Chain A
């Protein structure tokens, strides 16, 4: 099955946040009360009521051309998702076509996914919340273009968002990056092509990922692998070992008791003989 992905072009995004509003509306999430604190980014971060935000990296220095770097910040739907690996209840899962979905009824609010995620994206209130590619739309919607795309993509005015076959979108992104380079954006790049098993959100960035607050080369944390791939499988064996040790001690004790009894008997016999 071909993989699904978002495509986000930061060089086209104008920061209108129509996608944010559409996301909240479709997913029926509460609106948060926020205060202006010097940045146009709003809300300031992801939360149990906010699956996605447009991050603003503003550069308004005196005597320079104002610069705004924007980034659509949400679950990146990793090809090799750490959150799915650590989820103890089976709430988070990855579908065959690459959507990292959640079953909120199963969530136990342990928060493992939040800390395991290289971007610390899942937010946990009563249950987990994060982007699920509008699973209700892309799966249960009709085949028509009206409902089979995620709400944010549908709402984008600037043509900065697309959704569809990942291979095609990678191609599109590469072409866009080449074009941006000829226009003087030397550091332009396509973020997410191969990291973490390939991200399900392909972002065309005008500058280095670090300028967008993104890690350059994120990877599956080693401690997660040690925890879930090594310690987890040996756990039952450890208990089998402990029971085995007890069993060996038990056999030893039985043998000891038998030997002592034998010794006692022979001692007695010897004593009897001596008396005779």
Chain B
């Protein structure tokens, strides 16, 4: 049998960054949930006890700000490209969002339009992560240096930090499901977590616009 054609979707640096960010994010989510809500108190055992969770939440929080900063500075070109991709929201993307990308068929019917390297859902998630992480970072810093900040501001930070964390926690849960468990799109998982390559056939169907882009580049490089 002929070996299936594979194309590179995620650069090595992207994959390493995704891994590091994943570990930091999960540590923050679990320690944060343990502190925030009594129903999730059991997560504290991962960090020794609740005090350990509170202590580590601060250090991981700083890492959550510093690591992306380092990545952006050292890989500015990649980052710029990524931002350009997720900022490009065209007619097809709006259509895609309207029918939830066909993921909810037959509940929400419609043929999903052609997508780029990232589909409209992934683009939205990209923005959600960037914006909500900034909010979490700012409110987190306020909470860390609470004696230097007016108490009203600190109290609103508690509320906003908790709400944002909850929102992004739920968002990442769905992100994890779609990328790792969903029967039709779970190929993405081994691509991002593994060697970065994805089946050409899969890309053709899921990321048609990007596939053509890559194919064109291939042809021109062959010449």
What residues of chain A have their CB less than 8 Å away from a CB belonging to chain B? 86, 88-89, 106-112, 114-117, 120, 221, 223-224, 226-227, 231-232, 235-236, 238-239, 241-243, 245-246, 248-250, 252-257
Q: Give the shortest distance, in Å, between B53 (CB) and chain A (any CB).
A: 8
Q: Are A246 and B158 in contact (CB under 8 A)?
A: no
30 contacts between A and B (CB under 8 A): A88-B50, A107-B51, A108-B53, A108-B54, A110-B54, A111-B143, A112-B158, A114-B151, A115-B154, A115-B155, A116-B155, A117-B151, A223-B159, A224-B158, A227-B162, A232-B36, A235-B39, A235-B166, A242-B171, A242-B173, A246-B174, A249-B177, A249-B182, A250-B182, A252-B103, A252-B104, A253-B103, A253-B184, A256-B105, A256-B106
CB-based contact A252/B183 at 8 Å: no
- Beta-carbon contact of B177 and A246 below 8 Å: yes
Residues on B with C-beta less than 8 A from A257 are 183-184
B130-167, CB < 8 A from A: 143, 146-147, 151-152, 154-156, 158-159, 162-163, 166-167
Q: How far is the CB of A181 from chain B (nearest CB, A)?
A: 34
Q: Which residue of A lies closest to B161 (CB)?
A: A227
Cα A241 to Cα B170 in complex, Å, equals 8
Q: How many residues of B contact A (CB 8 A)?
A: 41
Choose from B104, B146, B166, B183 the contact partner of A238 (Cβ within 8 Å): B166
CB of B169 within 8 A of chain A?
yes
How many Å lie between the Cα of A254 and that of B54 in the bound state? 41
- Chain A residues whose CB sits within 8 angstroms of the CB of B39 once the complex forms: 235-236
Query: B interface, by DSSP: helix, strand, loop or mixed?
Result: helix
Question: 10 extra interchain contacts, Cβ-Cβ under 8 A, other than A235-B39, A256-B184?
Answer: A88-B36, A108-B51, A110-B54, A115-B158, A227-B162, A232-B37, A248-B104, A249-B104, A249-B182, A253-B183
CA distance A115 to B154 in the complex (A): 6
Q: Which of B50, B158, B167, B173 is the most central at the interface, judged by chain A CB atoms within 10 Å of its CB?
A: B158
Contact across chains for B158 and A86 when beta carbons are under 8 A apart: yes
Say whether B105 contacts A252, CB under 8 Å. Answer: yes
Minimum distance in angstroms from B99 CB to a CB of chain A:
12
Contact A255 B106 (CB under 8 A): yes
Q: Is B181 an interface residue (CB 8 A)?
A: yes
Q: Does B107 contact A (CB under 8 A)?
A: yes
Q: Which 10 A-B pairs have the closest CB atoms?
A: A246-B177, A115-B154, A242-B170, A108-B54, A227-B159, A108-B51, A115-B151, A242-B173, A223-B155, A235-B37
Chain A positions within 8 Å of B184 at CB level:
253, 256-257
